[in-house]
Structures are given as structure tokens and as C-alpha cells.
Amino acid sequence: MRPTGKCYRWTLIFLLFLFGFVSIIYSESVTDISFIAASAVNLRSEPSTSSPIITVLKRGQPCEIINQQDEWVYIKLPNELTGWVSVQYISFSPLSPSEHLMSPLHEELIRFAHSLLNTKYRYGGNSPSGFDCSGFTRYVYAQFGYELPHKASEQMKYGQPIEKDSLQKGDLVFFKTLGSKIINHVGIYTENGNFIHASSGAGRVTISPLTSGYYLPRYQGARRILSTINE
């Protein structure tokens, strides 16, 4: 018995419906391919700036978006590593060579340093589990390919001397504290007369004024590191 024209029509409608349904399911299951849109972006274990850092991602790193929670996205890297990053550091199209260089290095460095705010102070520490002052500056600069010694007085021997009225973001600033005869404290200048540092007094990574208060009379000078290598 040959199928009638009516059967053909109903069969075609059914097949079109089935194809459309499968397409919807498939499109919803495909993960968005995205790219990291800044240098030194922290991949975190939870959607919070206070959560542990899994690794640091480079600009242009491809990733898959698995989930989103408020201003955070849960991503998977090609090596199957997963974690959370702020959505502001995600691009939904491949980055061109010019976009890879969009942000000046010193801006990237300060943003990375800010991501470590409130990390606890630990004497001798040089990792996100705890920093002392030179361990903090050493760790931040290491993420950008700059190797510094783990001692404030030794770090002052690196880079170019800078006058106080010529400070720029990313410059290292040095101090003598507690009656010390040598340089024993270091931080990173941010902007507007402030610097970020691992403070034993505060017990954490914090931001302090450079031009007033405790650190004003103890200031000993500054060095510019970023302009001395690969520029």
C-alpha cells in the first residue's frame, strides 16, 4: 500500500519538528568559546577575589565558558583546568595582535597587584598564601617576566632611579622603618600618592598614602623597573 500525499505531509512535518528539537538541544549544549582579554588574569577556585588563585592566565588564552554567576564566569582551559574569572576579562572573539597590546604593561601590573589586596602578611612569604613586603613585589613582577631578589635593599639596586614628583604606576618605592639603617620596606606605586604593599602593621596587603602619615618621613626613593627590560 503506497503512502498517500497526506501521509507524506505529516511525515515531513514530524521530521522537521524532530530536526528543530535536536538543533535546540545541541545549541544549548555547545559551550561558548572565548578568550582572556587581559594579561595576568587570576583563575580562582570560587567566584570571589578572596578565593585561592589556581593559576594566572595570559592575554589571548582560549577558554570555554561553562557557567556564569553574577560578574563571574566559570571556564575550562584546553588542558581541562577549570576555575572562575571576572567576566570583564573575557572576550567573545579572537584577539587581534593590536588587541593583545591594548593595555600598557604598568596598568596590567597594577591590576594584578590589586587582585592580591588583603592577602595575609607572612614574614619570608612570597606567594598568595602569605607575603612579606619584598616577597609581594617580587611575586607581582615575576608574573610579568621580571626577576627581583627577595630583599628590599637588594631590589633598590635594580632599575632606574626616579624622583618622587615623577612617580608612575608600577614604580617601586622604598622606606626605612623602625629606625632601620638600611632599606627594609618596599611597595609598588599605584596612583594619586598611594602605594600597595604587604604591611606587617596591617597584617595584610594594603594600600597606604605615600605623601602623608607614617610613610612620608620614612621614604627613601624609587626605582623604575618596567622601562628597563623589553621596551
Quote the CA–CA distance of 180 and 117 in Å, as a whole number.
Answer: 26
Query: Residue 39: which of 121, 82, 81, 95 has the closest Cα?
Result: 95
pLDDT of res. 231: 36
- Cα dihedral across residues 200, 203, 205, 207: positive or negative: negative
**One domain, residues 57 and 127:** no
Tally of domains within the chain: 2
Are 111 and 218 in a shared domain? yes
Residue 5 forms part of a structural domain? no
Residues 6 or more apart whose CB falls under 8 angstroms from that of 21 comprise: none
Q: Of 100, 127, 158, at which residue does a domain stop?
A: 100
Q: 151 and 217, same structural domain?
A: yes
3-state secondary structure the chain: CCCCHHHHHHHHHHHHHHHHHHHHHHHHHCCEEEEECCCCEEEECCCCCCCCEEEEECCCCEEEEEEEECCEEEEECCCCCEEEEEHHHEECCCCCHHHHCCCCHHHHHHHHHHHCCCCEECCCCEECCEECHHHHHHHHHHCCCCCCCCCHHHHCCCCEEECHHHCCCCCEEEECCCCCCCCCEEEEECCCCEEEEEECCCCEEEEEECCCHHHCCCEEEEEECCCCCCC
Domain range for 128 is: 105-224
In this predicted structure, the answer to whether residue 62 has a pLDDT above a threshold of 50 is yes
Give the C-alpha separation, 73 to 164, whole Å.
Answer: 40
**Are 109 and 218 found together in one domain?**
yes
- What the block records as the C-alpha cell of 125 is 612569604
Domain-located, residue 149: yes
pLDDT of the residue at 153: 95
Read off the pLDDT of each residue in 213-222 and give the average, rounded to a whole number: 94
Of the candidates 57, 73, 100, which is a domain's last residue? 100
Which of the residues 7, 63, 106, 185 is marked catalytic? 185
> Quick check: 15 pLDDT over 80?
no
Distance separating alpha carbons of residues 18 and 197, to the nearest angstrom: 61
Task: Tell me the average pLDDT across 135-153.
Answer: 92
Which class for 172: exposed (0-12), middle (13-18), buried (19 or more C-beta within 10 A)?
buried
C-alpha cell at 193: 600618592
The answer to whether position 20 is within a domain reads no
Q: Which of 63, 100, 133, 150 is catalytic?
A: 133
Do residues 146 and 73 both lie within one domain?
no
Q: Which pLDDT belongs to residue 107?
A: 84
What CATH number does residue 127 fall under? 3.90.1720.10
With CA atoms as reference, report the closest residue to 94 among 64, 56, 57, 61.
61
Question: Cα dihedral sign for 227, 41, 79, 147?
Answer: positive
If asked whether residues 115 and 191 sit together in one domain, one would say yes
Residue 95: its pLDDT value, please? 62
Residue 13 lies in a domain: no
Catalytic residue among 7, 106, 150, 197: 197
Is residue 25 a part of any domain in this protein?
Answer: no
Active-site residue, 185 included: yes
Q: Which of 10-19, 107-116, 130-139, 173-182 is the least confident region? A: 10-19
Task: Report the chain's terminal Cα–Cα distance, integer Å.
Answer: 82
Can you give the pLDDT at residue 103? 52
114 is catalytic: no
